[in-house]
Structure 1
Amino acid sequence: MRALENVMQKVSATPTFARIAPSVVPRLDKAVHRLSGGKFMLSQWMLPSLFLTTTGRRSGEPRTTPLACLPEGETFLVVGSNFGRTSHPAWTGNLLADPDAVVEHRGRTTSVRARLLAGDERAEAWTALLRMWPPYAAYQARVEREIRLFRLEPR
């Protein structure tokens, strides 16, 4: 399993993966989640993962996105890496517009409030996230924007 994780980390750090993954990985995660009755996601075999439901800032409609996460007690850290693409992912803009969201993690649904991290708190979270998934460093190196980090706290 460790060898597979090492291969996946190398592959996921490439620009080619950044072009392909955003259209493939979320669809696979959603399909596996639906077929398993909400018990599994494809991504969870490599990283802790959750489904985040935000309110679309333009549409006002619920938007559900599978994301890697770092659980920390009752909270979760999530990364707006967008696989190292130049733009911020839409879900981060949704959280900035309306920080109230819903998380589904391991079959449990929780209402959360998102907080954009800055300063020392962001630096500490970034270090922890890099320990979990080193390719985040390659994503940050490819983009000029600062990758957004959020802490999701239960409401």
Structure 2
Amino acid sequence: MAKRESRGWLPPRWFIRAFWHAHRWLVRRTDGRRGLWLPKTGGKKDGWGALRLTTTGRRTGAERQVIVGYFEDGDDLVTMAMNGWGAAEPAWWLNLQAHPDAVVQTKDGVRPVRARRAEGAERERLWARWAELDANLDGYAARRPVETAVVVFEPREGGRPVSA
């Protein structure tokens, strides 16, 4: 009998959405003093962090904000375009495809970035890095009908963090 690939347990969709709305509220309410964290946790091996991403709406041109997980790859920040592992592409990713210049806020400060999709060998390398951080990554990704984009935020205009 063939081994069935585990799709990884996820809480109900309503819970995931409620959590992210509460998390975004906390970051906004505290202006990033709470709810954002750096990838290195407690001096242990590199982990993932949380950042606030500000994009430009593809249809409205209005500023949009979302909290996403990330890890550092040299000067770049890397995330995945997922919508709580739901089928739909996240709005922030659609916005970045139309307007790739964005701003991220990490615990280190605010920095301007340009977003792009990782392709080929780079995507494979970055995906493997996420898999080191989350053993269920491939199972979660199997829930989506399309390949999950790996998004790279490259610094622009010097791109070093400026205190928030």
TM over 0.5: yes
Q: Which residue of 1 aligns with 2:33?
A: 39
Structure 2: 5+ residue stretches without partners: 1-7, 42-46, 157-164
SS in 1 for 2:146: coil
Which of 18, 22, 33 pairs up with 1:24?
Answer: 18
Q: Which residue of 1 aligns with 2:114?
A: 113
Q: 1:71 to 1:147 in 2, by over 3 A?
A: same
Please report how far the alpha carbon of residue 23 of structure 1 lies from its aligned counterpart in structure 2 after TM superposition: 2.0
The aligned runs of 1:136-147 (5 Å cut-off) are 136-147=137-148
Alignment partners' CA distance in 2, 1:117 and 1:137: 17
Quote the sequence identity (%).
30
Q: TM-score, normalised by structure 1?
A: 0.82
| Aligned residue identity for 2:109 | R
Alignment partners' CA distance in 1, 2:17 and 2:100: 25
Q: Which residue of 2 aligns with 1:9?
A: none
**2:50 is equivalent to residue 55 of structure 1:** no
Given that 2:36 and 2:106 are in contact with CA atoms closer than 8 Å, whether structure 1 keeps it comes out as no
Alignment partners' CA distance in 1, 2:49 and 2:60: 29
Render the CA deviation track for 1:91-111: whole Å, top value 9, x for unaligned.
111111111000000050000
Structure showing greater radius of gyration is 2
Q: Which residue of 1 aligns with 2:82?
A: 81
Alignment partners' CA distance in 2, 1:43 and 1:105: 7
Q: TM-score, normalised by structure 2?
A: 0.77
Report how many aligned residue pairs link the two structures. 142
Alignment partners' CA distance in 2, 1:114 and 1:37: 23
SS in 1 for 2:87: coil
